[in-house]
Amino acid sequence: MSLVSRTFKVGGSVKLEGLVEAFNLTNHTNNVSRNGNFGSGEYPTNPSSTFGQVTAVGDPRSVQFGLRLRF
């Protein structure tokens, strides 16, 4: 995660903060889970054809913007 922020004084004790957060900037494939079900074949010589395959990956590159008002 990368975070960039900047605070601006609006008046008195009131401040406005602008935020930009970025996740997975390099857009790398992050494997979250794999098929751990060996199947009905004889262990260890006959696993299921999908045993060990990736079943879920993390979110791709994303960026979010926000404002925070402090008073």
Q: How far apart are CA 38 and CA 55, in angstroms?
A: 14
Q: Is the pLDDT of residue 1 over 90?
A: no
Tell me the domain boundaries of the chain: 2-70
5-18: pLDDT as tens digits: 999 999 999 999 99
**Which pLDDT belongs to residue 44?**
81
Q: How far apart are CA 5 and CA 8, in angstroms?
A: 10
Residues 6 or more apart whose Cβ sits within 8 Å of residue 4: 19, 20, 21
34-55: pLDDT as tens digits: 999 998 877 888 888 899 999 9
